[in-house]
Amino acid sequence: MSSVSKTRRHVSILGAGAWGTAVAIALAERHAVLLWGRNPAAMAQMARTRSNAHYLPDFAFPPALQISSDLDAALAHVGPEDLLILANPVAGLRPLLEQLKGRALPNVVWLCKGFENGSSLLPHQVVREVLGPDVAGAALSGPSFAQEVARGMPCALTVASSSAALCERVVNIVHGGHIRVYSCPDLIGVEVGGAVKNVLAIATGVADGLGLGLNARAALITRGLAEITRLGLALGGQAATFMGLTGMGDLILTCTGDLSRNRRVGLGLAQGKNLDTIVAELGHVAEGVPCARAVRALAARLGVDMPITNAVAGVLFDGDNAREMVGRLLARDPRGELA
């Protein structure tokens, strides 16, 4: 791969939630960045106050960062050498893609992590289904909390695509400052790791909320990685990917970091709160909730053993008790660790 370019590029980021805003703040120090959101009133307020008070308060926008609710302007901002970054959650990916369908698009990169509810499709599959197989696309993923990225703290990400040229372009533009970017050809593995780790973070939050100790947390993370790997391999991912940033790295961060929304869902479940209350208190999307339903259905269809994921889905959707969930996991028959 060539050395990282210092050329100033244009980047449009579609989706002004916490993560899209954080990436916009980080990249606007080096590139001409436009942050787009669909709500004109919210975007006008952000342009006026130079901050995202709802999703990422207390972080001032760089002076050069452009704010817009005009999708045509956001697309006109980027050319063939630039990046179009989709920062919507998985649930909003298809509706956004439908707005982009039929337009001339530059290099498309998505940040969302999860499986589409209902279809159980990974993000790249949704992109290809809506935009067609010829659109160059890549996933940018890895262990990263929005607040830390916006604050300028170090992080490492992975860009994954079947196109080596697109990976190189993303690295050239995004890598720099406090952000390191590695490339990987295993798009399936990167997306599976980024999706399922959110479900395991809910399980770890439950265990921590019940006061089960650090031993239990380590066991859940380790066995959770085994579940992620089993599903990823069944879908065509590569085993080595799950030992990297988007597998083990993202899993450790999301299961242990206090900024993790999915971990906080688990903590709330351990306190006996219902899911609606927990989600309302978060004020943000917790991708592990819809992902748990999608992964349970997908694993059943593929015949992949995912006991922790099934237990989490039982608590979220079937009325199972959190403490009893842990008991059932502990009562499972012994087996070979690597089986």
Residues marked active site are found at: 197
Residue type, 29: E
DSSP state of 175: -
Q: How far apart (Å, rounded) are the C-alpha atoms in residues 335 and 74?
A: 53
195 close to 227: Cβ distance less than 8 angstroms = no
Residue whose structure tokens are 């449009």: 12
Q: How far apart (Å, rounded) are the C-alpha atoms in residues 160 and 271?
A: 38
String of b and e for 259-295 (b: at least 16 CB within 10 Å)? ebbbbbbbbbbbeebeeeebbeeeebbbbbbbbbbbb
Tokens representing residue 259 in the block: 């900024």
Tokens representing residue 77 in the block: 């901002």
Beta strands in 60-128 (DSSP E): 66-68, 83-86, 107-110
Left, alpha or beta for 203 (phi > 0: left; psi -120 to 50: alpha)? alpha
